[in-house]
Amino acid sequence: MRYANLTGWGHGLPPSILTNDDLSTFLETSDEWIVQRTGMQERRISHVSAIEMATLASHRALACAGLEADALELIVYGSCSPDEQVPNSASGVQVALGAKRAAAMDVNTACTSFLYGLASATAMIQQGMVRNALVIGVEYISPFMDWSNRNVAVLFGDGAAAVVLEASDTPGGVIGTVLGCDAEARQTLRVRGMGCSYVDGGLTYGDTLWDFDGQAIFKRAVHGMSEACARVMREAGVTADDIDLVVPHQANLRIIESVAKYAGVPMERVMVTVHRYGNMSAATVPVSLVDALSEGRIKPGSLLLMPGFGGGLTFGALLVRWGDRVTPLGTSDATLPPVTASALEMVNAIRARQADRGRSVEALMNTRFIETLLTPAATP
């Protein structure tokens, strides 16, 4: 049987940190309020594009695997905040890396995009379509955030991470997969206005409008991830005692604790990074994986459980058997360009642009309304 072992890993995190106290300068909130409800203390705000963060993570993952970019055969870019709708973002990473031989595709299942991408790339390697793949999880959410909405503005951050998969006869990599979608409740988590959206018979675009039913999302997230964990372990013939580390989507500390409880895994065997980075959507699982490796929490042969949940409402859980190597074969000297503003300054600049755009759209709508009144009715 052919396997797809994880041989490289790396992240591309922007350096600027937005704290809870920073958020309290323009939102009615506090560090205590945010920590108590989410477990989050800070998150990153990027001064570069998503493709640039993804490219940095990719350089580091390829160096870690000892794989040259021109030998890469597939790039899977998991994200729900692309820099452009067309062309796909994976092609931007391909150009930046110089990976001319690689096929390139995007996957958008919101916060589960990395898990869906990892499962897809694994299947393509197992079927012999490609011999290796780069799988990226990245989000650049800050420009699309509704910074006036406390319910969502305190939750999300920017970041990226990537892993390299390579074909092998040695058992390892993804050994169990459960993916699903609770689509009847898709409206409970929705971002309208990214790019454009079809509303009331016409196209609208501009500022984003976040639909976020926190209580419904919490219940369905816990249920979806817990059921996926139970099923993937049952189908693989393993129990909670066999799991060495859970690397979950970092949406909320209480969700993580609930899923771990239902899975039967104590919190000391759960990787938690939500306090450091907030919810980076598709990037949370791979960033947590890279941190777990750097902290020595993953050993050769470790069995990992990776559950996730996102808009759609998508959910899933993967079982990953780690290989023999937990240290990089090489390192990359790639870096992000210097940052010249603090995270709070960047957020305030985004808020100012959103306010200007809102006034412009309001003026345009008023103009169109007046024009409609002044336009003579068509004669029969």
- Residue 371 neighbours by CB under 8 Å, 6+ apart: none
Closest by CA to 250, choosing from 52, 140, 114, 107, is 114
Q: DSSP letters along 298-356, please?
A: --TT-EEEEEEEETTTEEEEEEEE--S--S-S------PPPP-S-HHHHHHHHHHHHHH
| Token pair in block for residue 31 | 């560090």
Catalytic entry in 11, 111, 132, 229: 111
- From the CA atom positions of the chain, what is the Rg in Å? 21
Judged on CB neighbours under 10 Å (0-12, 13-18, 19+), 81 is buried
Please give the helix or strand (H or E) that residue 17 lies within, else none. strand 17-19
Q: Which of 138, 128, 125 has the alpha carbon at shortest distance from 164?
A: 125
Active site residue 279: yes
Catalytic residue, chosen from 5, 108, 252, 279, is 279
Task: Specify whether 59 is catalytic.
Answer: no
Comparing C-alpha atoms, which of 77, 64, 93, 248 is closest to residue 164?
64
Any catalytic annotation for residue 151? no
Q: Which of 12-35 are b and which e, b meaning 16 or more Cβ less than 10 Å from the residue's Cβ? A: bbbebbbbbebbbeebebebebbe
Contact 274, 280 (CB under 8 A): no
**DSSP strand pairing (132-139 vs 74-78):** parallel
Q: Measure the CA–CA gap between 156 and 343, rounded to whole angstroms.
A: 13
Which residues form the catalytic set? 111, 249, 279
